[in-house]
Amino acid sequence: MLWIIAATFLAYTIFVMWFSWYKTKGTDLTSSDGYFLGGRSLTGIVIASSLILTNLSTEQIVGLNGQAFGESMVVMAWEVTAPIALILMAFVFLPRYLKAGITTIPDFLEQRYDVRTRQIVSVLFLLGYATVYLPTVLYSGALVIDSIFSLTTITNISTFKIIFFISMAIGIISCGYVILGGLKACAMSDTINGIGLIIGGLLIPFLALFALGGGSLVDGVGKLMTANPAKLNSIGNHSSSVPWTVLLTGLLFNNLFYWCTNQSIIQRSLAAKDLAEGQKGVLFAGIFKIFGATFLVLPGIIAYLLYGGALGNPDMAYPTLINDVLPIALSGFLAAVLFGAILSSFNNVLNSSITLFTLDIYKPIFKPKAKDDELVKIGRIFAALLAATAVIVAPFIIYAPSGLFYYLQEMNGFYSLPIIAMVMVGFFSKRVPKSAPKIAIVVHVILYALSKFILAEINFLYVLTVLFPINILIMIVIGRLKPRETAYELYDSKVVDLKPWKHAKAFSILIIALMVGVYTFFSPIGVAKAGYDYSNMSLVFFLASLILIGGVVWFWRNTNKKLDPIPKETIAKKVKPELKQESI
């Protein structure tokens, strides 16, 4: 029956390729905006699909379900709390990004600080993408494809070589999207793959519940709710991977970086045709993240109830579940959907990488007068080289430790917080000088590296909780001691319409209500059993964190008032019209 799987896989994959070509054949790919930002023409649905598919790939589908298998619903925090950051993206970050008309985050950092800050951050992004993220996407994707098609068994080739060959195939196809179609081709493929991912993703827990109930969906749901209620608890204690004390601190800071400043993610939003469509895309993605736990976490819990300790490696929970519950006729479809998710993450990050390289490094350093067509050509060459590097590195990840998803998040901590800190300070402080972000990066990397040795047993989200306000404080102190001579004003590029989506606030309230509802359901108040001992030290840490963050915010506001007092004539201009109106 392997031919059935292969036929459905090829049919769906070829259709997605045709769809992407058809939707992008009229796009001008010789200009920077056309190639890197799809001509700033993306709509809300396209942006949402692209955001979801860039975020979701096999390293997350396999990794989160593996963590849920080994722990509990506590890991759903990575999904269900993400909408908070996306709401902030819609109302705080995106309007400023679109007003400035930037192509990359480092582009804004140059406007706010200087060109050296821009280049440092671009290099940090590229190092993270090239050495960790892209090879990991290929590796985890190759494992899933191998599991569905049983390639290692059929060919009798080692897992190392199979991973290399599958990674090569993914890399070649991905380069076809990025090199020939640019961002718009990637986004269009994401739109159709997003629909397939929702269908295929929800199919696995649905069929798994049938298997858990011995052929009865009702019995399966009943067993899920009663067999081990502690596995359904989403409120973690200090020893869990996501303690409750970091949901609105360390985890939120991590999410702010990922959803508001990570170039590979926010580039879709920067390509919005206007602010309203950008906000729609971001908020649509936010509501999807709440329900994403149904196929990113629940299958891991069901797999635990089905297999118990029979699986030696938790990361094999999802692939094993696919092989056991999915009908052969649908295996090709799901393989194609997962393949699309792999391609999406890979080619979108690849597109962001070449954008960073060409616009932030190549043009300003090597050829300032380079024309758009030359930049596109250089970008395509860089894409091929970067993809080749990722393909070569991917098989060696087989020797990395388990718990890859958590490991990736932890490694991002080396550069994520300084980037989000310098963006936020750039928005809300006018006098912080160009030296501040550079000093903050150095201090952060040293402190975070020390925490890996001195506080090796401490959850890295606790470390992020403390280091983020410290990053902000360092920059604010430098700004107070040595402020820049002229106040920074955000440049208005007037490239897109900045009128907000009229339903954005109501939609955000709905998202928050759903998020609270999901957490209430998967808690001791709802269907779960505590399963943890909650110490008073957790509450003490949480309160201390709030005091630290509050103190930094107070100092920040106080500093802004002293450095940027409102001139008397400005006050007069604001008051006089009101007085005239009253006299009339």
CB proximity list for 540: less than 8 A, separation 6 or greater: none
Q: How many residues does the chain have?
A: 584
Task: Give the Cα-Cα-Cα angle 97, 99, 101 (nearest 5 degrees).
Answer: 70
Provide the 3-class DSSP secondary structure of residue 482: coil
CB atoms within 10 A of CB 229: 17
Handedness of CA 151, 155, 157, 162 (dihedral sign): negative
Report pLDDT for 405.
66
Query: Which one-letter amino acid corresponds to residue 485?
Result: E
Q: Could you give the CA distance from residue 368 to residue 360 in angstroms, rounded to a whole number?
A: 10
Report pLDDT for 539.
84
Where are the alpha helices (H) located in 71-114, listed in sequence order?
77-80, 82-88, 94-100, 105-112
CB atoms within 10 A of CB 56: 26
Q: Could you give the CA distance from residue 352 to residue 344 in angstroms, rounded to a whole number?
A: 12
* Best CA proximity match to 97, nearest among 251, 265, 254: 265
4: left (phi over 0), alpha (psi -120 to 50) or beta: alpha
Report pLDDT for 183.
46
Task: Give the Cα-Cα-Cα angle 25, 28, 30 (nearest 5 degrees).
Answer: 125
Q: Could you give the CA distance from residue 183 to residue 189 in angstroms, rounded to a whole number?
A: 10
Question: What is the residue-level pLDDT of the chain in tens, covering all 584 positions?
Answer: 566 667 777 776 777 666 665 665 555 545 544 444 445 667 888 888 778 877 776 778 888 898 899 889 999 999 999 999 999 999 999 999 999 888 788 888 988 999 899 889 888 888 888 877 888 888 878 877 887 777 888 888 888 888 899 888 888 877 765 555 544 555 556 566 667 777 777 888 999 999 999 989 999 999 999 999 999 999 988 888 899 999 999 999 999 999 999 877 887 788 888 999 999 999 999 999 998 888 899 999 999 999 987 777 787 788 888 878 888 777 777 777 777 777 777 777 777 788 788 888 888 888 888 887 788 788 888 888 888 888 888 888 777 654 566 667 777 888 889 999 999 999 999 999 999 999 999 999 999 999 888 877 788 999 999 999 999 999 999 999 999 988 888 888 888 889 999 999 999 999 999 999 999 999 999 999 876 677 777 788 889 999 999 999 999 999 888 877 654 444 333 333 333 333 32
* Best CA proximity match to 528, nearest among 209, 219, 228: 228
Report pLDDT for 467.
95
Report pLDDT for 435.
94
β-strand partners of 497: 274
Q: Look-up: residue for tokens 């490991």?
A: 407
Asked if residues 296 and 79 have their Cβ atoms less than 8 Å apart, the reply is yes
User: 264-275, pLDDT tens digit by residue?
Assistant: 788 778 888 899
CATH number of 2-18+44-402+507-546: 1.20.1730.10, 1.10.10.1100, 2.60.40.420, 3.65.10.10?
1.20.1730.10
* Best CA proximity match to 360, nearest among 97, 38, 131, 103: 103
Asked if residues 514 and 289 have their Cβ atoms less than 8 Å apart, the reply is no
Q: Could you give the CA distance from residue 173 to residue 171 in angstroms, rounded to a whole number?
A: 6
Query: Which one-letter amino acid corresponds to residue 292?
Result: G
Two tokens, residue 251 = 């985890």
Two tokens, residue 481 = 């001691």
Report pLDDT for 584.
29
Asked if residues 23 and 349 have their Cβ atoms less than 8 Å apart, the reply is no
Q: Could you give the CA distance from residue 400 to residue 364 in angstroms, rounded to a whole number?
A: 37
